Amino acid sequence: MVSASMYIAQDKLTTTLDELAKKFELWVPVAAMEKQRVVRFMPYQAGMEPVLAEQSGLGPKNALLPQVETLLKFSYRKDVDDPGQKRLQLEAPEPPKQALIFGARPCDARGFLIFDQVFSHGPYVDDIYTARRETTLIATLVCLDEDAACFCSSVGSGPADMEGSDLRLTPIAGGYVVEALNDRAQPVMEVLAEPASEIQLAAARKVQEEAAQRRVGGADLTQSRASFLKRFEDMGYWREMVSQCLSCGICTYVCPTCYCFSITDEMKEDRGERIRSWDSCMFYTYTAEASGHNPRPTRLERYRNRVGHKFGYFPEKYQGMIACCGCGRCIRGCPVSIDIRRVAENLKESSDACA
């Protein structure tokens, strides 16, 4: 019988990950290079040093919604019965492996809850995402780190929020207490060797309680829909708020809740792949129409859409749920430091005054 809570000592972390990697496709946050400190989730390889004491710059989105993934492979082959013709052959992508995301943050796990609404909960079910989601476990850290860009409590989450996670990792002195949050987590627990002691569990409880009491971020942003709709046509507002936007894709690519994609057929000679790749509503081509018309011709309409999607259209469609997990990556990563909290908070001000 496996204990309900286990312990990983800091000095056993990499050997534990080595063991887990035998059973799972394992995703961990690692620094890209020693001096350049971009931490991103990568498939684990022996020798990698995970960075668990700070939030990753690029979260685990790639594990469930890869930047590029093959939807199907195709080839044209000569028809043996009718050699003048070619026949199309289709090949399904490989089924997903058992995967484990180790060291996510509550904000990272929350991002996937938003994806689930879109890809798994109907009316349209994306088989590829759903299959991968079902075979992926998420081990989430109780978050002790926050900086000026974090605002998870403003979106209805918080540093101890375990919604959407399968295992809880609680950092205590000398290591991590690991707790299964559901039955799915059992295969992970079986790999771990050391049960958590009473003292370690008590230390973990303390860390969890303290984290649960922390409020990260300012004003509540979950009820911004009505004020967004009132602001929609107020281009002066968008000009004031986001004129400095460069219309690059950083905010959308680092965002755990941005899921927009493009589908293209990439072909060479008589074979190719249909791929799904991340797209960004910040790009001109995202809404460019074949006629040449573009309904979002400038960065102002594009940024407005980003705010509208997260705080207006998404909750309208999905029972009030907003499509923002408060991780702050878009703020930290923005080359011109646009603060989406400010844009969302200020929606209210004079639109209410006008009303």
Judged by the rule CB under 8 A, the positions of this chain that interact with another protein are 32-33, 36-38, 40, 57-58, 67-68, 145-149, 239, 243-244, 246-250, 253-254, 262, 264, 266, 275, 277, 280, 283-285, 288, 331, 333, 335-339, 341-342
- Considering only CA atoms, which of 329, 55, 50, 5 is closest in space to residue 169? 5
Closer residue to another protein (CB): 80 or 290: 290
Closer residue to another protein (CB): 7 or 311: 311
Closer residue to another protein (CB): 31 or 172: 31
Q: What's the min distance (Å) between Cβ of 26 and another protein?
A: 20
Q: What's the min distance (Å) between Cβ of 301 and another protein?
A: 13
As a whole number of angstroms, the distance between CA 55 and CA 29 comes to: 9
Closer residue to another protein (CB): 159 or 164: 159
Q: What's the min distance (Å) between Cβ of 252 and another protein?
A: 8
Token couple for 145: 């780190």
Q: b or e along 220-242 (b: 16 or more beta carbons within 10 Å of the residue's beta carbon)?
A: ebeebbebbebbeeeeebbeebb
Closer residue to another protein (CB): 185 or 300: 300
Q: What's the min distance (Å) between Cβ of 34 and another protein?
A: 11
Q: What's the min distance (Å) between Cβ of 35 and another protein?
A: 8
Q: What's the min distance (Å) between Cβ of 254 and another protein?
A: 6
Closer residue to another protein (CB): 121 or 215: 215
Q: What's the min distance (Å) between Cβ of 102 and another protein?
A: 21
Closer residue to another protein (CB): 185 or 275: 275
Q: What's the min distance (Å) between Cβ of 280 and another protein?
A: 7
Closer residue to another protein (CB): 187 or 333: 333
Closer residue to another protein (CB): 174 or 297: 297
Kindly list the distances between the CA atom of residue 49 and the CA atoms of 9, 15, 334, in Å, as whole numbers in the listed order: 14, 11, 27
Q: What's the min distance (Å) between Cβ of 160 and another protein?
A: 18
Residue-by-residue DSSP string for 50-87 = B--SS--SB-THHHHS-SEEEEEEEEEEE-SSSTTSEE
Q: What's the min distance (Å) between Cβ of 336 and another protein?
A: 5
Closer residue to another protein (CB): 26 or 340: 340
- Strands (DSSP E) along 82-239, which ranges? 86-91, 99-104, 136-141, 167-172, 175-180, 194-195
